[in-house]
Each structure stands twice: as structure tokens, then as C-alpha cells.
Amino acid sequence: MKKNLLLLLLFPVLAVGQPALDSIANLLNKKLYTEAEQKAASYVKNNPNDLKGLEILGDSYGYQKKWDDAIAIYKRLVGIDENSANYQYKYGGALGMKALEVSKLEALGLIGDVKDALLKAAELNPKHTNVRWALVELYMQLPGILGGSRSKSLKYADELYNLSKVDGYLAKGYIYEYDDEPELAEKYYKLAIKEGGSLWCYDKLTEFYEKQKQPEKALSNLEEANQKHKRNALHYQIGKVAAEYNIELHKGEQCLITYIKNYTPNDGVPKAWAYYRLAQIYLHKKDKERALKNIDLAISEYPKMKPFTEEKLKILKM
């Protein structure tokens, strides 16, 4: 399963309604995972039967990719309430994430439990969209000998469509992209944008175009997203595509300058990366002075970042 997508779906920040646990959930939201783990472990020690506390502790492990610890917590929760779709889903998801990081032989021993937990979650909650997403990916990526099946993946995509047209379209886009049918993948990603138009929909189509080596289409899609959503983060994305593919350099330059000017931590990508992309653009333009100025700004924030130091060497050789 795709790591980034499953991680996003597996650990949504909980709204608990208990001050102590809400403060820990807030730490997770701020990506302060070690601190959240410490506080959650202390809470669980004093409240060993608090299921929400256990779940948040499991999530804190999951965010840090401590899969064995997360699995142990979720397995404990499943043992307490095997009819909780959420616990079954998180248990199966954590097992699936571990399977992606171990040897193929070890992964083989986990797949059966992954399927059992996810299928149980889907059975328990016919409206659980996240588990259906996980099953779409699982059945596409498993070899046929282990039960992989495009038809089963499409079945869960259809179930997603019945719950949410946008999710159904995105799932089918993923399936056809995975099966190397780009025309169908593009069709369904575009249908998702037409139906929902969220940033996530635009992001999936942009990522698809980049993988297909179609930067012009990616740039056009990003500009459409920016016109609709007016998010500063999209200025960075436009500049990134321009810099990576040496296209629309003036547009990319202006977007990156705008990104830096309006930057806040909520934009996600640190300013250093915008300086790095500007340096790439100026390198394309043969403007050594401005390229060096911007790469030095990037390096001043992250002195040991390998792409930054490598880019400076390129500029110095200009």
C-alpha cells in the first residue's frame, strides 16, 4: 500500500472530549510525536482501561513508524472489542505498514492477518471509507498468488463510489494508474475534480501528470487549482514544476517569490526549499549571481541538506 496515503488515512487526529487526551491529540496534530508518546504512555499507565488513551498511544507509535509497538496496542484493543471496525482497521493498517518495511518472507506471514482485520472492519462498518481505500490498495498490490485481484479492488472502489463519488473516482484513477492505463486514470482523476474539486483531487491529478512526464499538464492543473483555492502552498508547487522541468521559468520565479513573501508554517514546505527551487530556475536562466544568492539562503537554513549542497556545486561550475 502507498505509505503516504495509508499513513494519512490511518491516524486522523482524534477529537476526544477529555482535556488530558485532547492535549495529547493536539501534540500529534503539531507533529510532536515523541512528546505525545511520553504523555500518552504516562496517561495509559495511570488509566490502563481507558480505550481512547490506548488508541492515542497506538497512534503516537504509528506516526513514528514504531509498528511493533503500534500493533501491540491495536491488538490489545481488538482483544477488548473485536467488533470495533476502527480497531480492526488500525490493527490491519499497522500490520500492513510493517509488511512494507520487512523482508518479503516476513511480509508473507503478515498478509493473512492484514486481510482478515481489514475485511472484518469493512464488514462491521459498511460506511467506513478509509478501510475500503486500504482494501483497494491491498488487492491491487498483492501478487495474484496471495489473493491480489483487480476485480476485488474495483469492487471496493464501487463501494467507495456509493459512499462518496469523489472517493470512488479517485480509487478508480489509482487502480488504472497502477495498471498502466493512463487514459482511464486521467479520466477518473478529472471526474474527481469535477465532482469534488478539493485540493486532494487536484494533487492526485498533478502527481499523475508528473509521473507520466507531462509537466505542462501538471502546471496547468496547478494553476487551475490555485485559481479555485487561493492557497500559498500552490505557488510553491507551481515553482517546483517549473524548476524541475525547465518550463515557464518566469511564472515559476514569480510564484516562488510570492510563496516566500507570504510564507507561514502552515504552508508546509519550508522556505529553504523555495530558495532551492529559485536557484534551480536561475541556473536554467544562466544567472549565476542570483542562483548562488538563493542556494546560499537555502543552505543557511539547512546546511547539511544534500540536494542543496549538490545544487551549489552545479552553480559554481556554471
Across the range 208-219, mean pLDDT stands at: 97
Counting other chains too, the contacts that 149-156 makes at CB distance below 8 Å and 24 or more residues apart are 150/175, 150/179, 156/122, 156/132
The dihedral formed by the CA atoms of 139, 142, 148 and 154, expressed in degrees to the nearest 10:
30
Question: Does the pLDDT of residue 6 top 70, yes or no?
Answer: no
Angle of CA points 75, 76, 77, to nearest 5°: 90
Tell me which H or E stretch contains 238.
helix 232-245
Q: What was the pLDDT predicted at 9?
A: 57
C-alpha cell, 81: 472489542
**Residue 63 pLDDT > 50:** yes
208-221: average pLDDT: 97
Q: Please determine, for residue 14, whether its predicted confidence score (pLDDT) is greater than 60.
A: no
Each residue's pLDDT tens digit, 104-146: 888 889 999 999 999 999 999 999 999 999 999 999 988 887 7
Burial of 64 (0-12, 13-18, 19+ CB in 10 A): middle
Band (10; pLDDT cuts 50, 70, 90):
low
Nearest to 179 by CA among 171, 24, 214, 6: 171
What domains appear along the chain, each with residue ranges and CATH number? 231-318 (1.25.40.10)
Tell me, what's the pLDDT at 17? Answer: 54
**Mean pLDDT across 69-94:** 96
Over residues 221-278, the pLDDT tens digits come to: 999 999 999 999 999 999 999 999 999 999 999 999 999 999 999 898 999 999 999 9
User: pTM value?
Assistant: 0.85
Cα–Cα dist 235/225, whole Å? 10
- C-alpha pair distances (Å), 241 with each of 64, 106, 181, 278: 30, 39, 23, 11
Across residues 179-186, what is the average pLDDT? Answer: 97
* Cα of 294 vs its chain's centroid, Å: 28
Mean pLDDT value across the chain: 93
Confidence class of residue 1 from pLDDT cuts 50, 70 and 90?
A: very low
Cα(first)–Cα(last) distance of the chain, in Å? 42
Instruction: Tell me the mean pLDDT in the region 148-170.
Output: 96
